[in-house]
């Protein structure tokens, strides 16, 4: 049995929520950091997770240039070759 420990008696642990003493291997760590028994386990709500962002979003662009401003000319400035 490689990778498994053998104990004379199984280690016990107390649930941080209900206080019951259960086998330590049955305790699970919650997203709050509490070690709880299976009936007390509360999965992390989806709305408390940070949003996933694209890694490229907001990345700097090498040799970036600002967009040129559009040039507007009045109709009186237009010549025959501009039309």
Annotated domain spans of the chain: 9-40
pLDDT of residue 13: 92
| Distance of alpha carbon 36 from alpha carbon 31, whole angstroms | 11
pLDDT of residue 65: 86
pLDDT of residue 5: 64
pLDDT of residue 41: 93
Residue 13, beta-bridge partner list: 22
Angle at 31 between CA 26 and CA 34, to 5 degrees: 55
Residues of the chain with pLDDT under 70: 1-7, 75-83
């Amino acid at each position: 049995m490689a990778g498994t420990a053998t104990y004379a008696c199984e280690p016990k642990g107390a649930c941080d929520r209900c206080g019951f003493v259960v086998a330590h291997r049955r305790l699970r760590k919650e997203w709050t950091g509490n070690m709880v028994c299976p009936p007390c386990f509360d999965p992390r709500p989806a709305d408390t997770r940070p949003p996933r962002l694209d890694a490229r979003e907001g990345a700097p662009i090498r040799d970036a240039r600002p967009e040129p401003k559009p040039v507007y000319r009045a109709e009186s400035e237009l010549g025959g070759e501009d039309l």
